[in-house]
C-alpha cells in the first residue's frame, strides 16, 4: 500500500461516520442497534445500509477484531478511537475493502472527530493489520472470542456450532401468503419458507406492495404453524407485534385477536396486516391482565425473552443482555403462561415460544407450567415437521438453533412447546 493513495482520502466518509455513531450507541450507551439506526440523521439509503453492515460486522466479530489489534497497541486508545480502529479492521478483515480505502477512511474519520493525534496511530495500526491481520486470523478461535463466556457456557454441546453460525449474516426469509408465487431466485426451504440472499432489499421485491409475503425467519414461522388454527376457531396471539405470527394465524381463516402492550409496535402490526390484506382484532393491553369475552380455542404466546436466538440478525444482543437479565424474563414468562392458560377453554391448545437459546427460558418454563397450571403436554410429533427432525426432542419440544441446517445457511434459535388446557 502506498502513502499517496491513503493521503488522497481526505474527507470523512458518511458511511464510516454513521457506523461510528452506531457503534458508540451500542457499545457505550447500550442502545439497540435498530434504535440507533433510526436515530441517524437523514442520509442516502445506500450509505445508511452500508453503515449498518459495517457496524454489524464489528459487533459480530468484535472479540476477534480486538485480538488482531492487540499486538499493535501498547494500550487501547479512548473509546471513540478504539471504535475507529475496529471499523477499519472489520473493513480489512471481513468486508474485503481495499487496504488504501479502509485505512484512508479511518484516518479521515479520526481527523473529522478532532482526534489529529489519533490519526497517526490509526494509520500505523491499520497498516499493520492490512499486512498481517489475515494470517493472525488463522491462529485465533473466532467463535469463542466473539461469544461472551456466559452465553458459550449456557449453550452446552451446541455452543461451537451456534457461535460459528453467528459469524455470518442471516439470509432474508419470507413466508408467502396464500398461493402467491415466490420471488425469482428464492430457495424454497423444506418447511415452506422462501430464502433469498443476504442484502436483498425486501421493499424492491415484486409482490411486496401487494402483500404477497411477509418477512419472517424460517424458525419464526414454526410456532403459528404448530398451533394448527382452523377456520371458525377463536385464537389469540399474545405479545403479538410486529405481527408476523398474527398474519399467519389470520391467513388460516381463524378469528384472531392480537394483543400487545406497545402502541408503536401495534401501529406497525396494523400496517403489516393492511399491506397483507389480512384482518385481526387488535387490542392494546397487557396480556397478563387482559381476558377475552369468552374462552379461546387456541393461544400463541411468543413471549418476551432474551432474544439470544436472533444474534445472527441482531449482533448487538450480546452487548445489551447480561446473565442477570434472564431471571426477570423467566418470571414474566411464567406470568404470561398462567394468564394464557386462564384464557383457554377446556381442550384448548397453547403454543409457547421464545426466540431464545437459554435453557431457563425454554424447557425449564415448560416444566414449570406443567407443574403448576391445569395443562397437559401436547407433544409435537415428528410427522408434523420431518424436515427439522434434529430440532425435535424426546419430550415433544422443538429447539432450533443457528447451527442447524448448515446446508441452507442456518435458522434462528427458537424454543417451542405445546399444551392442552385440562
Instruction: For CA atoms 165, 170, 171, 172, give the dihedral sign.
Output: positive
Q: Which of 355, 375, 385, 404 is catalytic?
A: 355
| Residue 11 confidence (pLDDT) | 61
Q: Is 355 a catalytic residue?
A: yes
- Would you give per-residue pLDDT tens digits along the chain (422 residues)? 444 444 444 566 899 999 999 999 999 999 999 999 999 999 999 999 999 999 999 999 999 999 999 999 999 999 999 999 999 999 999 999 999 999 999 999 999 998 888 999 999 999 999 999 889 999 999 999 999 999 999 999 999 999 999 999 999 999 999 888 999 999 999 999 999 999 899 999 999 999 999 999 999 999 999 999 999 999 999 999 999 999 999 999 999 999 999 999 999 999 999 999 999 999 999 999 999 999 999 999 999 999 999 999 999 999 999 999 999 999 999 999 999 999 999 999 999 999 999 999 999 999 999 999 999 999 999 999 999 999 999 999 999 999 999 999 999 999 999 999 99
Q: Which helix (H) or strand (E) holds 134?
A: helix 116-137
User: Which of 122, 71, 129 has the alpha carbon at shortest distance from 99?
Assistant: 129
Which residue(s) pair with 298 in the sheet?
235, 349
User: Which of 185, 163, 250, 190 has the alpha carbon at shortest distance from 214?
Assistant: 250
CA distance 346 to 29: 48
CA distance 132 to 130: 6
**DSSP codes joined into one string, 261-309:** S-HHHHHHHHHHHHHHT---EEEES-TTT---SS-EEEEEEE-----GG
Q: What contacts 382, CB < 8 A, 6 or more positions away?
A: 389, 392
Q: Which helix (H) or strand (E) holds 376?
A: strand 375-377
User: Which of 122, 132, 144, 103 has the alpha carbon at shortest distance from 4?
Assistant: 103
CA distance 328 to 306: 10
| Residue 5 confidence (pLDDT) | 47
Q: Is the pTM of this model over 0.95?
A: no
- Residue 299, C-alpha cell as written in the block: 393461544
CA distance 313 to 309: 9
Is the CB of residue 205 less than 8 Å from the CB of residue 186?
A: no
| Residue 9 confidence (pLDDT) | 46
Phi, psi (degrees; rounded to nearest 5) at 315: -70, 0
Q: How many of the other CB atoms lie within 10 Å of CB of 150?
A: 15
User: Which of 9, 108, 105 has the alpha carbon at shortest distance from 54?
Assistant: 105
Is the CB of residue 275 less than 8 Å from the CB of residue 209?
A: yes
| Residue 12 confidence (pLDDT) | 65
- Residue 297, C-alpha cell as written in the block: 380455542
Task: Give the CA count within 13 Å in the CB-facing half-sphere of 347.
Answer: 1
CA distance 101 to 246: 46
- Residue 407, C-alpha cell as written in the block: 446446508
Phi, psi (degrees; rounded to nearest 5) at 178: 60, -135
User: Which of 40, 33, 81 has the alpha carbon at shortest distance from 55?
Assistant: 33
CA distance 215 to 242: 11
User: Which of 343, 335, 342, 338 has the alpha carbon at shortest distance from 234?
Assistant: 343
The beta strand positions in 161-229, using DSSP E, are 172-176, 187-188, 194-196, 213-215
Amino acid at each position: 500500500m502506498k502513502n499517496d493513495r491513503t493521503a488522497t482520502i481526505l474527507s470523512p466518509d458518511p458511511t464510516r461516520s454513521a457506523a461510528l455513531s452506531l457503534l458508540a450507541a451500542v457499545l457505550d450507551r447500550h442502545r439497540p442497534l435498530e434504535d440507533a439506526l433510526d436515530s441517524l440523521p437523514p442520509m442516502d439509503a445506500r450509505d445508511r445500509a452500508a453503515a449498518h453492515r459495517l457496524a454489524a460486522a464489528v459487533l459480530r466479530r468484535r472479540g476477534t477484531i480486538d485480538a488482531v489489534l492487540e499486538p499493535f497497541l501498547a494500550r487501547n486508545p479512548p473509546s471513540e478511537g478504539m471504535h475507529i480502529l475496529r471499523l477499519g479492521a472489520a473493513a480489512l478483515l471481513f468486508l474485503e475493502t481495499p487496504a488504501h480505502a479502509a485505512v484512508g477512511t479511518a484516518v479521515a474519520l479520526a481527523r473529522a472527530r478532532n482526534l489529529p493525534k489519533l490519526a497517526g496511530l490509526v494509520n500505523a495500526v491499520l497498516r499493520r493489520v492490512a499486512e498481517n491481520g489475515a494470517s493472525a486470523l488463522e491462529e485465533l478461535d473466532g467463535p469463542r472470542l466473539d461469544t461472551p463466556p456466559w452465553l458459550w457456557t449456557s449453550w452446552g454441546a451446541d455452543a461451537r456450532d451456534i457461535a460459528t453460525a453467528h459469524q455470518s449474516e442471516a439470509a432474508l426469509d419470507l413466508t408467502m401468503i396464500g398461493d402467491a408465487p415466490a420471488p425469482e431466485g428464492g430457495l424454497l426451504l423444506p418447511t415452506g419458507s422462501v430464502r433469498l440472499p443476504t442484502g436483498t432489499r425486501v421493499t424492491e421485491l415484486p409482490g411486496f406492495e401487494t402483500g404477497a409475503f411477509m418477512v419472517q425467519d424460517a424458525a419464526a414461522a414454526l410456532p403459528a404453524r404448530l398451533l394448527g388454527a382452523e377456520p371458525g376457531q377463536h385464537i389469540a396471539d399474545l405479545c403479538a407485534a410486529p405481527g408476523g405470527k398474527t398474519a399467519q394465524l389470520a391467513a388460516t381463516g381463524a378469528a384472531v385477536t392480537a394483543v400487545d402492550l406497545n402502541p408503536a409496535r401495534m401501529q406497525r402490526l396494523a400496517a403489516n396486516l393492511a399491506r397483507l390484506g389480512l384482518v385481526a382484532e387488535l387490542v392494546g393491553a397487557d396480556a397478563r391482565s387482559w381476558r377475552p369475552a369468552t374462552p379461546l380455542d387456541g393461544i400463541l404466546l411468543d413471549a418476551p425473552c432474551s432474544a439470544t436466538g436472533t444474534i445472527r440478525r441482531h449482533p448487538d444482543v450480546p452487548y445489551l443482555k447480561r446473565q442477570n437479565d434472564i431471571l426477570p424474563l423467566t418470571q414474566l414468562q411464567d406470568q404470561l403462561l398462567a394468564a394464557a392458560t386462564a384464557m383457554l377453554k377446556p381442550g384448548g391448545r397453547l403454543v409457547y415460544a421464545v426466540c431464545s437459546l437459554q435453557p431457563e427460558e425454554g424447557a425449564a418454563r415448560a416444566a414449570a407450567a406443567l407443574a403448576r397450571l391445569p395443562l397437559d403436554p401436547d407433544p409435537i410429533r415428528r410427522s408434523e415437521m420431518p424436515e427439522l427432525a434434529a430440532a425435535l426432542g424426546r419430550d415433544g419440544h422443538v429447539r432450533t438453533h443457528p447451527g442447524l441446517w448448515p446446508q441452507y445457511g442456518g435458522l434462528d434459535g427458537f424454543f417451542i412447546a405445546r399444551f392442552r388446557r385440562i
